[in-house]
Chains A and B, each alone.
Chain A
Amino acid sequence: MLIPALFFAGVALYMVLWNIYISFTNWSIFNPKPKFAGLSTYTALFHDMIFKLGITHSAIITAVVLVVGTVLGILFAGGLYFLKSNVQRSVYLSILLYPMTISSASAGLIAEFLYMRQIGIDWLLSMLHLPAINWLGTSLSSQLSVSLIEIWALTGLGTLFYLAAFLNIPKDIIEAARIDGASSIKILFKIIIPNSLSGFIIASSLLFLFSFKVFTVPYFLGGGFTNYYLTTATMYIYNAWFGEHFAEASADAVIITAIVTAVVVSYATYLLRKISRG
């Protein structure tokens, strides 16, 4: 009964191997009959400015989302943990999670609007007598603007797994600390967070895996594929493929797959051990 699922997972694996094969050829619009080309595609890739931009942008966005998502996730989960009403807690958690159900295409359309000059978020800032932000004006600010949308979309995910880990800690330990006169903040930082390693591992792997594949939001914000301020590692694959540089597209895909695989393997083995422990 495992066969259908394994078949499709096998197709994915087969396509990855196929990518590896293509990446060692010189297949492109200029060489419609691919020949073995060794590592030359990879060398060309590392000299390609747009590839370097894409991988740098993806790295920046992933790092920002990972750090901010973790910090906010822990703080929000801590706040929700101390709420007295269960209903309020689950309503608030749902509000933090609803962006997971909004497509990145819709988020991209809304983001274009939020980042409009003068009448977007800038208007709120001017009401508070704060300077306007050059949202999509520089390379770095573009990455931060994309990250902000991803943080909105993914922080709920972090919050969920931290909150789950927090609620898993036996109540009597926390009660004991409270009787000893420890404040909630002290309990959070001295007892709850240090005992939430599993939440940390799950939340950060998922934040990484979801943010590293960022594609749609920068594509929408950049108005297409030709805006190199807003290109990412996954967008490079599409660009190269569209220009019929198939070997380059595959080589980039292989690099991305290798990075993702490293995270997935450690995540999956950890998760499996966690389940079998019950």
Chain B
Amino acid sequence: MPNEFRLRAIRYAALQVLLGVVVILWLVPLYVALIGGVKTNYEATTTPIFIPPSIPEVSSYSYAWSQLHLAFVNSLIIGLAAAVISAFLGAMAGYEFYLISQKHFKVSTIVFTLISFAMFIPVQSLLVPLMLVEVKYLHGINTYYGPLFAYLIFYLPMGAMLMSIFAPGIPRYLIEAARIDGASDWTIFRKVALPILMPGIISTFIFAFVLIWNNFFLAFILNPAPAWRLVPYIENTYIGGYGILYNKALATAVLASIPPLVIFIFLGRYFIRGLASLGGGAKGI
């Protein structure tokens, strides 16, 4: 049936073309930011945004970096600390959750709902009590531990949730065998569960780090002083008012996106696995 064969080939070609267009469309914003950042400000505000500059120049990048480098260090310190804690304590919670979920279905449903709730509640909705706690009791404005505390409210439950999806990967008989040998719960976690859970922990760590790095609202309300600013706060200084510096704004957007993008390009598998566990894991992807 050569005719049907040809029809199938044409359909497949059409699919390729359509998907190719979609993929290009999805890359357009990144392309626009990349070429806009190397234009002069005059060119950035007068030439079409899709046309590369006549002569690329990097002065807006050096300006953007001079505004950004301190925030980069702050964001790295707080982001790494919060992500490591979220992944590790989340792994402990996920392991324990796995143990109790077999025996007490009701308890585990409540625990799972509570941690999903903390993970998905919009950050803004805790604003009033959070600021009371941070200002009055913790004195956490313009510090490292203030944002760290706030991130852990949302991202440690997230770590626990992702890890409870990964934890059933531990074979039950290994835990039973260790228990018969007289190992304590903590030893079993450290010696048996932790090595098996490592890929899951890396996924959780990477996923949490990217989300924390990108969280605008907490960075905006908690660390406004120049020496303590975080990366999203600096991006906010380019909006509104008159005479927006478009080329510098785009250079800043690109620089701010480099850590998550580099992680995604080199460790995308882990990131996608972290994302997929929000739906109970995705086999075959």
Contact = CB atoms under 8 A, between A and B. Distances in A.
Interface of A: 1-2, 4-6, 8-16, 18-19, 22, 76, 79-80, 82-84, 90, 92-114, 116, 119-120, 123-124, 152, 156-157, 160-161, 163-164, 167-168, 183-184, 198-199, 202-203, 206, 209, 212-213, 215-216, 219-220, 223-224, 234-235, 237-238, 241, 246, 249-250, 252-253, 256-257, 260-261, 263-265, 267-269, 271-272, 274-276, 278
19 contacts: A2-B100, A10-B114, A14-B129, A95-B27, A96-B23, A102-B29, A105-B253, A110-B250, A110-B253, A113-B33, A164-B283, A168-B284, A202-B280, A206-B279, A212-B122, A237-B127, A253-B128, A257-B125, A271-B112
Nearest to B260: A101
Nearest to A101: B260
Given A1-B185, A206-B278, A101 B263 contact: yes
B113 A269 contact: yes
Contacts of B185: 1
A264 B95 contact: no
B239 A152 contact: no
Contacts of B33: 106, 109-110, 113
Interface size of B as a range = 35 or more
A103 B93 contact: no
Contact of B283 (A22, A104, A168, A215): A168
Contact of B260 (A9, A102, A110): A102
B120 interface: yes
Contacts of A168: 283-284
Contacts of B145: none
Given A206-B278, A213-B122, A6 B250 contact: no
A9 B252 CA distance: 34
Interface string B234-250: 01101111001010011
Nearest to A212: B122
A101 B265 CA distance: 10
B261 A98 contact: yes
Contact of A220 (B18, B93, B239, B250): B239
Interface stretch (B54-62, B170-178, B267-275): B267-275
A103 B210 CA distance: 9
B144 interface: no
Closest 9 CB pairs of A and B: A223-B240, A103-B214, A164-B282, A213-B122, A5-B93, A5-B160, A12-B118, A202-B279, A106-B253
Given A5-B160, A105-B236, A264 B49 contact: no
Contacts of A108: 235, 239
Contact of A93 (B128, B168, B285): B285
A221 B272 CA distance: 29
Nearest to B256: A106
Given A113-B49, A114-B32, A237 B124 contact: yes
B192 interface: no
